[in-house]
Structure 1
Amino acid sequence: MTAAIDLAEVERRFLRHVWFPVARSEDLTDTVLPGRLLGVDLVVYRHEGTAVVAAGRCPHRGVAMWLGRTVAHGIECPYHGWVFAPKTGECVAVPSLPEGGAIGHIQLATYPVTEAYGHVWTSLAEPYLPLPELTIEPDAGWAFSHGVPHDLRCGMRQLTENFRDIAHFPFVHSGSMGPNVRRVVDPYRVTRQGWSLEWEMTTDLGGTALDGAAALANRIRLIHGVALPMAATVRTRFPDGGRRFLAQFATPLDEDGERVRLFWTLGIDRIVREVHGVDMDRMWEYEQQIFEEDYPIVENQLPVEAPLDLHTQQHTAADRYSIVYRKAYVELLHRFHADAGAP
C-alpha cells in the first residue's frame, strides 16, 4: 500500500521541477518580457540569439527587470544601470562605482531554458521530467500558429481536463460549432506510456462548424494526448483527408495554483489549406472562439483546481480520461516524493 503523503505540499515542490512555457518565441525579438511562474516574477529576453530566463527583480533595489533593456553584456536594470550576464546572472557592471571598483559577488538568478513548439520554456529547479514530447506527423506541409497567451482564474489541472473533454461540445461550443454536434460519447480506451496518456475517439460536429466546410464540419477522428502534468494535445484527422494539430499548455502563475496562463499552438496541413480551403487565419479564428467559449466555464468551477480525490466528484464513462489522468498524476507525485525525499 502506498504511504499517505500531503499531496498538495508534494505538488508544490514537484511543480518547481517541471518545464513550463513562459513566453512565445515570436514575441522575443529585441523586447524584454515579463514572466511569472509559481509566484516567482521572471524576466525573459534574447541575447545573441539565445533565450534567457532570469529572476524578474533586481537584487539591488527590487525593481522590475522587464522594464530594462538588453545590452552587449546582458540585461541592464532600468533603475541604476546594473548589468547582469545572461548565462550566469553575474553582475558585470555597476555604473555608480569608479572604474576598476570591486563589484563583489552579486547575481541575478537564472533558470534552465529551452525553446520548443513556438514557446520559451523554463523550470524553477532542476527538471524532474523531460520536456513534453508531442507527436506531430511529419511531411504534411504543416503551417503553424501560436495563440496569444491568456490568463485565467482556474487551476492547471482544471484547464487541462477541460481541453480533453468532448462531452461539453454541444453545450459550451454551440456558438462556434453549431447546434448539431453529437451528444453521445462513444466508449474509448486510454493507453498509457510512462507519464503520457493517449486515447482515440470520433465525433460528429453536425455540419455547421467552420461555416459549414463540408470536409471539416462533420464526422472527425480525434487522437487526444496528455504529457503529465499539463501538456495536452489533439490531432484531428478529417474523413476526406487533412489534419489539424492543437496543443495547450497551462502555466501556473501563483503558488496557490488558482491562476494559470494559457499558451497554445495550432497546426494545419496542406490538404486543409489547399484542398478544403480553410487557411490558417480562418482556423485560428475558429480555435480562438472555442477557447473563449471555455473561459467562463473554467473560471466558474469549484473547487478551482480539479480534485485528485476521485470520490469528491461524480463520473461517467465519458470521463474515463479524467479518471486515468488524476490517478496517473497522484502516482507521479508519489514517485517524485520517493525520489526527492523530504524538503
Structure 2
Amino acid sequence: MEETEHRLLRRTWFPLARIEDIGESTVTAANILGTELVVHRAGGRITVADGHCPHRGMALRLGTVRDGCLECPYHGWLFEPGTGRCVEIPSLPAGTRPSGISLRTYPVKEAYGHVWSCLEDDPYLPFPELLGYGEEGWSYAYGNPTELACGMRQITENLRDMAHFPFVHTGTMGPHVRREVSPYEIKRDRWDMEWALETELGGTALGGHEALANRQTLTYRLTLPMAAYVRTSFPDGAGRFIAQFATPVNAEGTRIRHFWIVGIDRKVSTGPHAVSLEEMWEYERQIFEEDFPIVENQVPAESPLDVHSQVHTRADKYAIVFRRLYRELLDEFAAAGEPPSS
C-alpha cells in the first residue's frame, strides 16, 4: 500500500464489529491497518480504545469490564469509558488518584448495525450514507464478520461484478442465470457512484420463488473507499437491500475484515413468496461464502489502480470508473498537503 493511501485510510471511518456482539462485560478485539483496538460497552456507552495497556503492554482483548470501566487482566488497572482515563491502580493505596495516565481512545459511531471508528480524530471523508437504509416497512439483519486474505478494493469490486453470477453462484442462484451483461451508464457525484442493471436468474434461486428468482433490477451504489450496496427491485415491486463494508486489518492492505447487511421490505416477507428475513440472511450468507475463495485467489491481492495492467470488457465499466475515481481521491488528498500521521 502506498503511503498516501495509508494516510488517507487512517482518516477513514471503518466498521469494527456488529453492535449486537458488544456485550456489557465482554471486550471485543478489532483492528484497522495493523493497529490493534478493543471495543467494549461500559457506563452506558461504547468505547473504542488502544488494544494494549499503557502500563506493560498487556493485550486488553483478554480483559473485562468492572465497575463500569475497562479492566486490564494483568494488574487490574481500570480505564474510564469514553476518555480512557486511568481511574484506579490496585497496587497503590486505596483512594490514590492516578494523574496523567490514559489509554488512547478513538472516535466512535454506531450506524447500520455496526460500531465504526477512525484512527485519527479528523476524518477526511464524510461518514458514508446508505441511501434508503432504514425506510419504513423494511427489516434488516447483519452478517457474521469474516477475515479474508484479499484487499479492500478487491472485494468491493466483486460485490458489483454481475458477470461472475453464472459461474461462481450456481449453487445459490442456479444454473440458468443470464450471462450477458447489458451496457450501463454510471452516475458520479463527487466520491459516490451509481448505476442500474437488469438480470435474469432463471427461476431457480431462493428455492424457485418465481417473483424473486427471475427478472430483477439491481441498483448499485458505492461511496469511496469501500461502502458498497445494492437495492434489488423485483417484478412485483418487492425489494431487497445488500450492503458490504471492508476494513483493512494489516498495514499492507492485503487482509480485510468483511461486514455485510441484508434487508427486505414487507412485500418479500408476505404475499406469494413469503421469504422471511432469516431465510434471506441464510441465502446471502451462502452467496458471500461462494465469493470468498474467489477474492482470496486473485493476483494481485488488491485491485490495481492502474487500469492498463488488466484486461477489461464493457461489463467491467464500473471497475474502470472506480479505480480512476479512487486514484483521483488519492491525488486530491496528496495535493491537500496532508502531513504524515505520527
Global fold match (TM > 0.5): yes
Uncovered stretches (5+) of structure 1, i.e. residues with no partner: 1-6
Listed as ranges, the matches of 1:138-153 within 5 Å are 139-153=135-149
- 2:318 aligns to what? 321
Number of corresponding residues: 337
Contact 1:244 1:266 in 2 (8 A): yes
Q: Distance in 1 between matches of 2:87 and 2:221?
A: 45
SS in 2 for 1:312: coil
1:106 Cα offset (Å)? 1.5
- 1:241 aligns to what? 237
265, 276, 282: which is aligned to 1:279?
A: 276
- 2:210 aligns to what? 214
- 1:27 aligns to what? 21
State the one-letter code of the partner of 2:70: I
TM-score scaled by length of structure 1: 0.96
Uncovered stretches (5+) of structure 2, i.e. residues with no partner: none
1:115 Cα offset (Å)? 0.5
179, 190, 194: which is aligned to 1:194?
A: 190
State the one-letter code of the partner of 2:7: R
Listed as ranges, the matches of 1:116-131 within 5 Å are 116-125=111-120, 126-131=122-127
Tell whether 2:252 aligns with 1:256. Answer: yes
Q: Distance in 2 between matches of 1:37 and 1:258?
A: 12
Q: Distance in 1 between matches of 2:135 and 2:96?
A: 58
1:199-238 per-residue CA deviation (whole Å, 9 max, x = no partner) reads: 0110000110001000000000000011100000000000
SS in 2 for 1:75: strand
Which has the larger displacement, 46-55 or 243-252? 46-55
1:90 Cα offset (Å)? 1.3
Which has the larger displacement, 96-105 or 164-173? 96-105
1:114-168 per-residue CA deviation (whole Å, 9 max, x = no partner) reads: 0000000000012111110001166541111000001100000000000110000
Contact 2:45 2:82 in 1 (8 A): no
Q: Distance in 1 between matches of 2:227 and 2:155?
A: 10
- 1:164 aligns to what? 160
Q: Distance in 1 between matches of 2:94 and 2:65?
A: 22
1:170-214 per-residue CA deviation (whole Å, 9 max, x = no partner) reads: 000011100000000000011111111100110000110001000
- 2:9 aligns to what? 15
Q: Distance in 2 between matches of 1:156 and 1:279?
A: 31
1:341 Cα offset (Å)? 3.0
RMSD, aligned CA: 1.3
% identical equivalent positions: 57
Q: 1:303 to 1:139 in 2, by over 3 A?
A: closer
Listed as ranges, the matches of 1:61-140 within 5 Å are 61-101=56-96, 103-125=98-120, 126-136=122-132, 139-140=135-136
1:56 Cα offset (Å)? 0.6
Q: Distance in 2 between matches of 1:74 and 1:342?
A: 34
TM-score scaled by length of structure 2: 0.96
1:63-111 per-residue CA deviation (whole Å, 9 max, x = no partner) reads: 1112111123421111111011122211111010113446332211100
